[in-house]
Amino acid sequence: MLWVDKYRPRTLDKIIVHEEIAQNLKKLVSEQDCPHLLFYGPPGSGKKTLIMALLKQMFGPGAEKVKLENKPWKIDAGSRTIELELTTLSSTHHIELNPSDAGFQDRYIIQEIIKDMAKIRPLDAKGKRSFKVLVLNQVDKLSKEAQHSLRRTMEKYSASCRLILCCNSSSRVTEAIRSRCLNMRVSAPTPEQIVKVLEFIGKKENLQLPPGFTARIAAQSNRSLRRAILSFETCRVQQYPFTANQAISPLDWEQYVSEIASDIMKEQSPKRLFLVRGKLYELLVNCIPPEIILKKLLSELLKKLDSELKHEVCHWAAYYEHKMRQGQKAIFHIEAFVAKFMSIYKSFLIATFG
C-alpha cells in the first residue's frame, strides 16, 4: 500500500492539515443538519480525505464498507433510450461517482441516479436520519446542462438525499449550484504543513530524516500534499538512509514536457512543430489531461523566456486553453499554441539578433 493511502487520516479527529475545517464539519454533522456541500480547492489539498472522514463521521464504520459496481443504466429520454455504463462506489449510505465519465450525456445520468436513490430511503435503527449521500467528483467538468438539471434535482429531492460535490475550481460551477451548497474552500497546504505531515510519516516509518530534506521535498511538491508524500516514498525506495542533498526525481511526464519546451526553443519550423506534435501525442496517450500539459508547458517555456515576451505568450496560452474547452480535440489547440509561440519567438530572435 502506498503511503498516501496508508497514512490517510480516516476520521475527522486525526486530520492534521485542515484541522479547523475538520472540526467545523464535525460540529455541523453532530447537529444532524447537513446541508449540501461543495468542496473546492487545488489537487492534493485533501478534499477527498475530508469527504471520506466526514462520511465516516456521519454514518459510522458502515460508510467504509464500499463496493465497486459497474452498473448499466437505462435511461428513457423522450423518444430514445440511452444506455450507459458507469462505475460507482457505494456503501449502504452513500454513492460516489464521476458523472463526467458519461461524456455529454451526463445530465441524464445525474437526474436518473438521483431519482433512483431517492426512491430507496434507508432507515436507521431509530427510524430517523433518512437520507443518503451522493458524492459527485469533478463537478467542474460537468456540462452546463447537467449542472442545470443538477440544480433542479437538488431542490426536488433535498428531503431524501444530500449532495457532496467536489471540484478543483468553483468558477466552473454555476452560481445556482454554489448558492445552494455550503462552500468549503480547501486550500493547498503550506510547505510548513507538508513538512509536518512528512515528519509524522517519517516517525511512523522509523526513518532517519536529515535536516532540510523534508523541506526540499515540500518545496518541490508544488504545494500538493499527495505529490509530496509520493515523492517522499520514491526517495525512500531510491536511497535510504537519506542524504541531505539527495536528488528528488521529478515526474517522468514533467521531464518530458520540459524536453518538449527545450525542443521548441531550439528551432522554430514546421518540421519541428511536427516533431513536437508526436511528443504531445505520447503524453496524451498516457491520459495526462491536456490542460495540465498546456499549463506545464507554459511554465517551462516561461522559465527560459525573455520577460518582454512573457505577457504575450501567457495571453495566447490562455486563449488556446479557452479554445480547447470549446473544441473537441485538444491536440489542435495545444499545437496552435506551440505554433504561435514559435512564431512569436522567432520574430523576437530576428528582431534582437538580426
Partner 1 sequence: MRKRRPVVILSSSSEEDEPAKPTSSRSATAPRKRPRGGAARKGSSASGPRRPRVSRGVEAVKFDRLSADFCEGLEDFHIAPGFQCKQGIELWVDKHRPHLLEELAIQKKKVEEVKKWIEDRVKTPKEDFGVNYALVITGKAGVGKSAAIHVIASEIGAELCEWKTPTPTLWQEHIHNSNLGLPYMSKLDEFESFVEKTRKYSLLQTSNSEGLRKPLILLIDDLPVINGRAAFLRLTKCLTTLSHSTRVVTVILLTEYCKTESGGSPTHHYEELETSLCRAGASKVTFNPITVNSIKRTLFRICQLEGHDVTADLINYIAKSSGGDIRHAITSLQYCCLRPDKYFSAQLSEGISSKIKSENSTLLPLSSIKEGKDAYSALSFPFGRDETLTLYHALGKFLHNKREITDQSALDSEPILLKDSFLRNPLKMDAPEIILSQANGQGRLITDFLHENVLDFISDEAIDDAWLVISYLCEADCLLSNALCPTYPRRLNVKYGSEGIAQSIASSVAARGVLFGNSHPSHSRWHTIRSPRLWQIEQSMGLNKNQMRQETFESYPCNMSEMASEYRPRIKWLNSQTSQDAVALQNPSFYPLKAVDHADDIGSDGLIEDNPSEESEDEIEDC
Residues 43, 203: Cα–Cα separation, whole Å: 25
Cell numbers representing residue 266 in the block: 531550439
Q: How far is the CB of 236 from partner 1 (least distance, A)?
A: 10
From 259, 253, 258, 262, select the one nearest 282 (Cα to Cα): 253
Task: Closer to partner 1 by CB, 200 or 281: give it.
Answer: 281
Q: How far is the CB of 10 from partner 1 (least distance, A)?
A: 12
Element at 3 (helix H, strand E): helix 3-6
The single-letter code of the amino acid at 234 is: T
Q: How far is the CB of 19 from partner 1 (least distance, A)?
A: 22
Residues 138, 135: Cα–Cα separation, whole Å: 10
Task: Closer to partner 1 by CB, 158 or 253: give it.
Answer: 253
Task: Closer to partner 1 by CB, 79 or 171: give it.
Answer: 79
Task: Closer to partner 1 by CB, 157 or 320: give it.
Answer: 320
Angle at 150 between CA 290 and CA 41, to 5 degrees: 45
Task: Closer to partner 1 by CB, 21 or 96: give it.
Answer: 96
Q: How far is the CB of 258 from partner 1 (least distance, A)?
A: 9
Q: How far is the CB of 344 from partner 1 (least distance, A)?
A: 9
From 334, 226, 221, select the one nearest 277 (Cα to Cα): 334
Task: Closer to partner 1 by CB, 207 or 336: give it.
Answer: 336
CB 72, CB 31: distance < 8 Å: no
The binding site for partner 1 (CB under 8 A) comprises 2, 4-5, 8, 43-44, 48, 68, 78-79, 87, 89, 96, 98, 101, 104, 137-138, 145, 224, 226-227, 230-231, 233-234, 237-238, 249, 251-253, 255-256, 259, 268-271, 273-274, 277-278, 281-282, 284-289, 292, 320, 323, 326-329, 331-333, 335-336, 339-340, 342-343, 346-347
CB 114, CB 161: distance < 8 Å: yes
In our burial notation (b when 16+ CB lie closer than 10 A, e otherwise), range 39-54 reads bbbeebbbbbbbbbbb
Q: How far is the CB of 79 from partner 1 (least distance, A)?
A: 7
Using alpha carbons only, how large is the chain's radius of gyration in Å?
A: 23
Q: How far is the CB of 35 from partner 1 (least distance, A)?
A: 23
Q: How far is the CB of 121 from partner 1 (least distance, A)?
A: 24
Alpha helices by DSSP H, listed for 74-174, are 106-119, 144-156
Q: How far is the CB of 189 from partner 1 (least distance, A)?
A: 15
Task: Closer to partner 1 by CB, 60 or 289: give it.
Answer: 289
Task: Closer to partner 1 by CB, 5 or 308: give it.
Answer: 5
Residues 11, 64: Cα–Cα separation, whole Å: 11
Cell numbers representing residue 108 in the block: 441524464
Cell numbers representing residue 95 in the block: 454513492
Residues 118, 269: Cα–Cα separation, whole Å: 59
Strand partners, 162: 133
- CA dihedral sign, ordered 310, 278, 224, 187: positive
Task: Closer to partner 1 by CB, 178 or 277: give it.
Answer: 277
CB 335, CB 298: distance < 8 Å: no
